[in-house]
């Protein structure tokens, strides 16, 4: 256990983080209502010359980008990938513009190398779409089209509502690119409603889980397909807020090596949803159980998993591929609860500013 | 510290891992001599319709794929990305064949979903190249062209020589795609020679570092550009062999969140090389130092870094972008030494088989 670091004279720790976390149903509902804006922005993805979608971002926005690669593939049949920012920005390679649409994700819209990437893509003639919480930011200025997250100011350093808003924006852009916008706006509205109903129960369940795992020294986080994005974001949240070293793996990569690190009692966070990758996740959980790991399973298929130490089931999303909007929530709540149980303040991680300004 | 798990009646622990690690100069020299084979395989990358390179693999092979995205971008000006295996294999999305060349990496050539991915790509008409240590494997059978690593049998479960052989194969394919094959074969030969000369000193330096860090509870591993592949592979090696939970980050992402986790004395492994991303790495190391982290720096620019606890300098590679062939070595050696110092056997991680057979 680490020493408590809460300032007794300061505001109650974690208030911002938890308040913003709880705003997520409202944020998603607002996005669901902006059909015409998404339809207009997505026009760039429907240009016949666009064959690939290049997604860029850092930190939580990069994790949202992982979701984007699946959302574009599954909803729109488009090839999408998280492009290297370093190649054009630091190494000066040419950006292939003719067949690409660029989607840049940044909560602040001020991450310098993401802005630089978009400026280069614009100069090269690629259509660019900025997804940001600040439509007055340099990133919004640099891009051809802007999708404002309209999530309200995010004051806690660790992202919550802007992460899920980025996921929703990516799903909506993919849906409009595929001519299925209206259906996904409706599905997002229903997802937000499910989330609002589930939140109180999830807060209680994750608080209990945090009490059980307060002394954890490390955690492995497993997901597959779209939920690999969730695994990455849960691991980052645990590191940022609860100072727990957590490493994300796809369910398949877990069996390739990391399973060796498990000591009896070591916690494993697994996301299990009703989709075609479920057998790989079930297999990985079985190996974690065999090694004596303390498995925490969440997701719409959590109830179907045998042998988990802790089970935090979630409702099924009303449309395929919107599940990650639900399955990130227990991870965010658990990170907040674990930070609190360890005397840490998730609102103010040491050494962090809200905007990445490193070169 | 974890309890010793070495069987006193068994062979000396880590013998295989270290022996295979030391074979790397020979493995690279052999690859350097096979110019015609690489020229023939690379013909697929020069087809005019090929606009993107899709790279697939798991574990260490996926880490090599990260290097591949940079090698193709920097050496050949080609867009390359690590493609989702799950999308076509589990979710049934169509593989875009018309503009893609596929490169599949697997030491054993028997990882089922990688073989399945290549079969689908072949059916869709994409040119495919398998890079594998077993030219008689199902993966080699499935692909249009095969690059055999000829690294000799790899008996330790954690990959060493096949990882660096995969890097070299990717660099050579990129060089041939760019019409610069002969220069890179010569550069690889020189790199192998530099490595052979540096190995004894590196073994001593990493053994001393492992003694200093034997009680480490976690490690963050930093790299940028092509050396981000090294950061990923070092983290995996530490997890597999020394049971040290290690998380890789680009130098920029490190400042976005993970810096918050550092307690005074926490170890940070940083790869610093003389390339245009060096300022981002220097900045990240400065922040790690400010947080009281115990920084271990390696790479060709290690001597230029101030304030590191441990410095393990490396020679400059004779050609740009071959540096990762050198900078992985201290990480492999450190993982072996740390495992030994902790009484673990890097030849036999628990729960692991050499071939990934999970679905």
The whole-angstrom separation of Cα A279 and Cα A275 is: 9
Chain A nearest-CA distance from B359, in A, is 6
Q: Which residues of A touch B84 (CB under 8 A)?
A: 69-70, 73
Q: Is the pLDDT of residue A30 over 60?
A: yes
CB contact under 8 A, B96 and A51: yes
Q: Which residues of B touch A251 (CB under 8 A)?
A: 358
pLDDT, chain A, mean: 92
Best of A70, A77, A84 to mutate (most B CBs within 10 Å, chain B): A84
Give the residue ranges of DSSP H helices in B246-322. 251-256, 278-290
Domains B15-188 and B194-341 share a fold: yes
Q: Which residues contact A213 (CB under 8 A, 6 or more apart)?
A: A267, A294, A296, A338
Q: Which of B245, B279, B283 sits opposite A218 (nearest CB)?
A: B245
Q: What angle separates helix B181-212 from helix B24-32, to the nearest 10 degrees?
A: 170
The 3-state DSSP class for residue A246 equals strand
Average pLDDT over residues A18-40: 97
Q: Which residues contact B124 (CB under 8 A, 6 or more apart)?
A: B94, B95, B96, B97
Lowest-confidence region among A108-122, A176-190, B1-15: B1-15
Q: Which residues of B touch A256 (CB under 8 A)?
A: 58-59, 352, 356
Chain A nearest-CA distance from B144, in A, is 22
Q: Which of B59, B70, B260 sits opposite A256 (nearest CB)?
A: B59
User: A301-324 pLDDT, tens per residue?
Assistant: 999 999 999 999 999 999 999 999
CB contact under 8 A, A73 and B91: yes
CB contact under 8 A, A247 and B245: yes
Closest by Cα among A243, A231, A217, A252 to A297: A231
Q: Which residues of B touch A352 (CB under 8 A)?
A: 256-257, 259-260
The whole-angstrom separation of Cα B54 and Cα B139 is: 16
CA dihedral angle for residue B228, residue B232, residue B234, residue B238, rounded to 10 degrees? 160
Six token digits for residue B217: 């509870």
Q: Which residues pair with B298 in a beta bridge?
A: B271, B312
For A55, list phi and psi in degrees, rounded to 5: -110, 130
What pLDDT is attached to residue B12? 67
Q: Is the pLDDT of residue A359 over 70?
A: no
DSSP category for residue A160: S
Is residue A82 a contact partner of residue A130, using CB atoms and an 8 Å limit? no
CB contact under 8 A, B262 and A83: no
Q: Which residues of B touch A80 (CB under 8 A)?
A: none
Biggest distance spanned by C-alpha atoms of chain A: 59
The whole-angstrom separation of Cα A161 and Cα B201 is: 50
Q: Is the ipTM of this complex over 0.95?
A: no
What pLDDT is attached to residue A350? 58
Q: Which residues of B touch A275 (CB under 8 A)?
A: 90-91
CB contact under 8 A, A280 and B359: yes
Q: Which residues of A touch B283 (CB under 8 A)?
A: 358-359
Q: Which residues contact A11 (CB under 8 A, 6 or more apart)?
A: none
For A29, list phi and psi in degrees, rounded to 5: -65, -40
B224: left (phi over 0), alpha (psi -120 to 50) or beta: beta
The whole-angstrom separation of Cα A254 and Cα B356 is: 10
DSSP category for residue A260: G
User: A326-335 pLDDT, tens per residue?
Assistant: 999 999 999 9
Average pLDDT over residues A183-206: 98
Is residue A251 a contact partner of residue A224, using CB atoms and an 8 Å limit? yes
CB contact under 8 A, B90 and A247: no
The whole-angstrom separation of Cα B342 and Cα B126 is: 47
CB contact under 8 A, B240 and A253: no
Query: CB pairs below 8 Å between A and B: how many?
Result: 207
The whole-angstrom separation of Cα B195 and Cα B328 is: 11
Is residue B102 a contact partner of residue B139, using CB atoms and an 8 Å limit? no
CB contact under 8 A, B82 and A81: yes
Q: Which residues contact A144 (CB under 8 A, 6 or more apart)?
A: A44, A122, A127, A128, A129
Chain A nearest-CA distance from B346, in A, is 10
Q: Is A189 exposed, middle or buried (0-12, 13-18, 19+ CB in 10 A)?
A: middle
Q: Which residues of A touch B359 (CB under 8 A)?
A: 279-280, 283
Six token digits for residue A131: 């997804």
CATH topology of domain B194-341: Rossmann fold (3.40.50)
Chain A nearest-CA distance from B3, in A, is 11
A299: left (phi over 0), alpha (psi -120 to 50) or beta: left
pLDDT along chain B (359 residues), means of 10: 42 82 98 98 96 96 98 97 97 92 97 97 96 98 98 92 98 98 98 98 97 94 97 95 92 80 91 95 94 96 94 96 98 96 80 48
CATH topology of domain A196-341: Rossmann fold (3.40.50)
Is residue A232 a contact partner of residue A63, using CB atoms and an 8 Å limit? yes
What pLDDT is attached to residue B15? 85
Best of B252, B254, B323 to mutate (most A CBs within 10 Å, chain A): B252
Q: Which residues of A touch B2 (CB under 8 A)?
A: 263
**What confidence tier does A352 reach under pLDDT thresholds 50, 70, 90?**
low
Instruction: Please give, one letter per residue, the 3-state secondary structure of A38-104.
Output: HHHHHHHHHCCCCCEEEEECCCHHHHHHHHHHHHHHHHHCCEEEECCCHHHHCCCCCCCCCCEEEEE
Q: Which residues contact B240 (CB under 8 A, 6 or more apart)?
A: A257, A258, A260, A261, B157, B158, B335, B346, B349, B352
Q: Which residues of B touch A261 (CB under 8 A)?
A: 239-240, 243-245
Best of A115, A236, A260, A293 to mutate (most B CBs within 10 Å, chain B): A260
Q: Which of A218, A351, A359 sits opposite B259 (nearest CB)?
A: A351
Q: Is the pLDDT of residue A39 over 80?
A: yes
Average pLDDT over residues A13-19: 86
Q: Which residues of A touch B217 (CB under 8 A)?
A: 217-218, 245
DSSP category for residue A317: P
CATH topology of domain A15-188: Rossmann fold (3.40.50)
Element (H, E) at A230: helix A227-242
Q: Which residues contact A139 (CB under 8 A, 6 or more apart)?
A: A104, A106, A109, A110, A111, A114, A115, A118, A130, A132
What pLDDT is attached to residue B1? 32
Q: Which of A86, A236, A244 sits opposite B277 (nearest CB)?
A: A86
What pLDDT is attached to residue B347? 79
**What confidence tier does A14 reach under pLDDT thresholds 50, 70, 90?**
confident
Domain boundaries, chain B: 15-188, 194-341
Q: Which of A92, A225, A259 sits opposite B90 (nearest CB)?
A: A225
The 3-state DSSP class for residue A245 equals strand
Q: Which of A59, A247, A255 sits opposite B356 (nearest CB)?
A: A255
Q: Which residues contact A259 (CB under 8 A, 6 or more apart)?
A: A284, A287, A288, A291, B350, B351, B352
């Amino acid at each position: 256990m680490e020493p408590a670091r809460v300032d007794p004279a300061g505001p109650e720790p974690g208030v911002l983080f938890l308040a913003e976390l709880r705003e997520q149903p409202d944020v998603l509902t607002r996005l669901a209502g902006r059909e015409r804006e998404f339809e207009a922005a997505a026009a760039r993805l429907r240009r016949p010359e666009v064959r690939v979608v290049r997604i860029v971002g850092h930190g939580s926005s990069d994790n949202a980008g992982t979701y984007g690669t699946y959302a574009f593939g599954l909803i729109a049949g488009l090839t999408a990938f998280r492009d290297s920012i370093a190649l054009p920005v630091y190494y000066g390679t040419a950006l292939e513009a003719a067949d690409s649409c660029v989607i840049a994700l940044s909560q602040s819209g001020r991450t310098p190398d993401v802005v630089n990437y978009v400026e280069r893509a614009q100069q090269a003639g690629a259509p660019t779409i900025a997804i940001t919480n600040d439509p007055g930011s340099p990133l919004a200025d640099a891009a051809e089209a802007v999708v404002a997250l309209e999530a309200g100011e995010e004051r806690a350093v660790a992202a919550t509502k802007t992460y899920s808003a980025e996921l929703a924006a990516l799903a909506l852009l993919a849906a409009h690119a595929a001519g299925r916008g209206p259906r996904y706006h409706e599905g997002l509205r229903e997802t937000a409603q499910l989330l609002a109903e589930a939140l109180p129960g999830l807060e209680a369940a994750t608080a209990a889980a945090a009490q059980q795992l307060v002394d954890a020294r490390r955690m492995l986080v497993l997901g597959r397909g779209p939920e690999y994005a969730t695994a990455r974001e849960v691991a980052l949240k645990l590191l940022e807020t609860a100072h727990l070293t957590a490493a994300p793996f796809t369910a398949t990569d877990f069996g390739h090596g990391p399973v060796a690190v498990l000591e009896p009692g070591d916690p494993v966070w697994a996301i299990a949803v009703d989709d075609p990758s479920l057998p790989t996740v079930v297999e990985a959980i079985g190996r974690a159980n065999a090694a004596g790991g303390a498995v925490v399973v969440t997701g719409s298929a959590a109830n179907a998993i045998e042998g988990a130490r802790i089970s935090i089931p979630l409702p099924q999303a009303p449309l395929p591929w919107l599940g990650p909007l639900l399955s990130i929530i227990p991870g965010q709540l658990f990170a907040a609860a674990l930070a609190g149980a360890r005397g840490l303040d998730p609102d103010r991680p040491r050494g962090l500013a809200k905007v990445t300004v490193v070169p």
